[in-house]
């Protein structure tokens, strides 16, 4: 679609500068989109592997817990688990990445998970608690990766729309407008030359 501008030489110069800037911006956005896609796909693979690992660990943990509940009373298990002194804290920092601010989660833990006598419990309960304790850092990392994937997907979509707007709307419009103005100026120049030649013939 041709832009609504005055067909003069100053406008052509301005549009050519704008076209050069649009093509440069298009290349940068295309490179950004490709890099985002590359990192996005890497994260998707990492997320799948980590999620499979976490789900398998949780499955084993709940299986051990189920066996423990079969051998011990539920009230006894809840009472024993309430004695834990383990405290977990998650802090968040932001990591810049190509116009994004990705949350970096940091897990800190202190205290003991098992604060009961092992003679009173089954080995399955100890195994379940151990598995859950080891899985917590992986779950924090998994939530971080999934949030990164979500933010990167949004940024990829935004970048894709900008690339398409430049590639299919702005750059073709500038090209068409420059050709139109150039053609108009050429017609005007030919008309001026024709008039000058007629004036010279009259003067002679």
Q: Does 161 map to a domain?
A: yes
Range of the domain at 139: 9-197
pLDDT at 57: 95
Checking 71-75 for CB contacts under 8 A at 24+ apart, the result is: 71/122, 71/124, 72/121, 72/122, 72/125
CB 181 within 8 Å of CB 12:
yes
119 C-beta neighbours (distance < 10 Å), count: 5
User: How far apart are alpha carbons 145 and 141 in whole angstroms?
Assistant: 6
Q: How many domains does the chain have?
A: 1
Look up the pTM and report it: 0.79
Q: Which two three-digit tokens encode residue 30?
A: 């295309």
pLDDT at 158: 95
User: How far apart are alpha carbons 3 and 18 in whole angstroms?
Assistant: 13
Q: Does 95 map to a domain?
A: yes
pLDDT at 67: 84
pLDDT at 29: 96
Q: Does 121 map to a domain?
A: yes
pLDDT at 121: 65
pLDDT at 133: 87
Q: Does 203 map to a domain?
A: no
pLDDT at 178: 92
pLDDT at 81: 67
Query: pLDDT by residue for the chain (204 residues), tens digit each?
Result: 777 787 788 888 999 999 999 999 999 999 999 999 999 999 999 999 999 999 999 999 999 888 887 777 677 667 666 666 778 899 999 999 888 999 999 999 887 766 565 556 677 877 888 898 899 999 999 999 999 999 999 999 999 999 999 999 999 999 999 999 888 888 877 776 777 777 777 766
pLDDT at 130: 84
pLDDT at 186: 83
Q: Does 204 map to a domain?
A: no
- Express as a percent the part of the chain with pLDDT over 70: 87
Q: Does 4 map to a domain?
A: no
DSSP state letter for 118: G
Q: Does 171 map to a domain?
A: yes
pLDDT at 5: 81
Residue 124: give its domain's CATH number: 1.10.287.3240
Q: Does 116 map to a domain?
A: yes
């Amino acid at each position: 679609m041709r832009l609504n501008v005055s067909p003069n030489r100053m406008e052509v110069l301005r549009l050519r500068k704008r076209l050069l800037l649009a093509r440069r911006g298009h290349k940068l956005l295309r490179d950004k989109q490709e890099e985002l896609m590359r990192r996005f796909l890497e994260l998707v693979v990492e997320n799948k592997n980590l999620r499979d690992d976490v789900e398998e660990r949780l499955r084993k943990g709940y299986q051990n817990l189920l066996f423990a509940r079969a051998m011990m009373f539920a009230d006894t298990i809840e009472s024993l688990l309430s004695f834990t002194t383990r405290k977990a804290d998650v802090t968040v920092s932001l990591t810049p990445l190509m116009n994004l601010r990705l949350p970096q989660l940091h897990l800190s833990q202190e205290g003991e998970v098992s604060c009961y006598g092992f003679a009173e419990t089954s080995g399955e309960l100890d195994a379940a608690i151990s598995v859950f304790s080891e899985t917590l850092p992986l779950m924090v990392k998994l939530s971080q990766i999934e949030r990164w994937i979500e933010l990167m997907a949004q940024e990829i979509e935004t970048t894709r729309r900008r690339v398409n707007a430049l590639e299919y709307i702005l750059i073709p419009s500038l090209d068409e407008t420059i050709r139109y103005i150039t053609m108009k100026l050429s017609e005007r120049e030919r008309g001026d030359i024709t008039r000058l030649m007629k004036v010279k013939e009259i003067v002679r």
